[in-house]
């Protein structure tokens, strides 16, 4: 049991590794062109969300990523990847634009969870996440979502309601952090390793439970060991799925998406 807990915790540590490639790295190294857009047209620009128009081979796409910084300043600017309501509103604005212009949507997810501060709650954090889920379920354009590091709670799910959902091999995806789980269940945050083991948050667990569509392999010691190789692996999955998804009728696409999430976990 102890050895299993250590193995799972090693994956948690790799998902949070300070040198792990972030969303901005993948955007810069996967797409041939990228133009970033800013703002939710209401409150402000949330730097935890990077979004804009990109090109990958012959495909024009909308790209949205939850981004963590690579140093203290960048982490503060991006709020350590914890998105505010205006970030989700910005992402939804870009997704609706993608639907209008018939561009597939590519999402990169890496967040410990949506920001839970007073200001975020006052500006409707829960509603912003719920609105994303409602709208994404009905968007008439293909959606591919990839968990590249941490996939925490509704903050991750708000960009992960996709026709295809993948996880990097050493990423995690869960209802909350192991520390939060341990503090609620056992009133002891030091039991985070035990919590991570119990929660079944690894890519291997979630593929087994039919929550995700596949696992994208990483270098032996994690994606940070060879970021370019990891980017190329993601690119191959995106291109394969774009070839398939763009040829599906929109009504069939929406029906498949509905069935996918209604049957998830079965």
For the chain, the first-to-last Cα distance in angstroms comes to 27
What phi, psi does 173 have (nearest 5°)? -150, 120
Contact 20, 223 (CB under 8 A): yes
Question: What are the distances in angstroms from CA 101 to CA 164, 182, 192, 224?
Answer: 20, 45, 45, 35
pTM: 0.94
Question: What are the distances in angstroms from CA 15 to CA 25, 202, 220, 235?
Answer: 15, 10, 13, 19
Number of domains in the chain: 1
**Can you give the residue range of the structural domain that contains 6?**
2-262
pLDDT at 1: 55
In this prediction, residues 239-263 reach a mean pLDDT of: 95
Residue 135 has pLDDT above 90, yes or no: yes
The pLDDT-based confidence of 264 (bands split at 50, 70, 90) is: confident
* CATH code of the domain containing 190: 3.90.226.10
């Amino acid at each position: 049991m102890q050895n299993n807990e250590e193995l799972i915790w090693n994956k948690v540590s790799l998902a949070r590794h300070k040198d792990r490639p972030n969303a901005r790295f993948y955007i810069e190294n996967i797409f041939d062109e990228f133009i970033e857009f800013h703002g939710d047209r209401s409150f402000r620009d949330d730097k935890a969300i990077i979004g804009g128009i990109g090109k990958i081979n012959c495909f024009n796409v909308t790209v949205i990523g939850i981004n963590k910084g690579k140093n203290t300043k960048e982490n503060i600017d991006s709020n350590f990847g914890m998105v505010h309501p205006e970030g989700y509103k910005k992402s939804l604005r870009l997704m609706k634009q993608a639907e209008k212009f018939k561009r597939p949507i590519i999402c990169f997810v890496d967040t410990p969870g949506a920001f839970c501060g007073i200001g975020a709650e006052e500006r409707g954090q829960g509603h912003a996440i719920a609105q994303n889920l409602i709208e994404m379920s009905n968007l008439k354009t293909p959606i591919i979502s990839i968990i590249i590091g941490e996939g925490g709670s509704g903050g991750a799910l708000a960009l992960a309601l996709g026709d295809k959902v993948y996880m990097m091999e050493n990423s995690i995806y869960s209802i909350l952090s192991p520390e939060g789980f341990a503090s609620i269940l056992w009133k002891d945050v030091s039991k985070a390793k035990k919590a991570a083991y119990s929660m079944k948050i690894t890519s291997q667990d979630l593929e087994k439970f039919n929550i995700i569509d596949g696992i994208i392999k990483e270098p032996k010691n994690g994606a940070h060991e060879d970021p370019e190789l990891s980017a190329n692996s993601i690119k191959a999955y995106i291109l394969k799925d774009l070839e398939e998804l763009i040829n599906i009728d929109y009504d069939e696409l929406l029906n498949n998406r509905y069935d996918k999430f209604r049957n998830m976990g079965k």
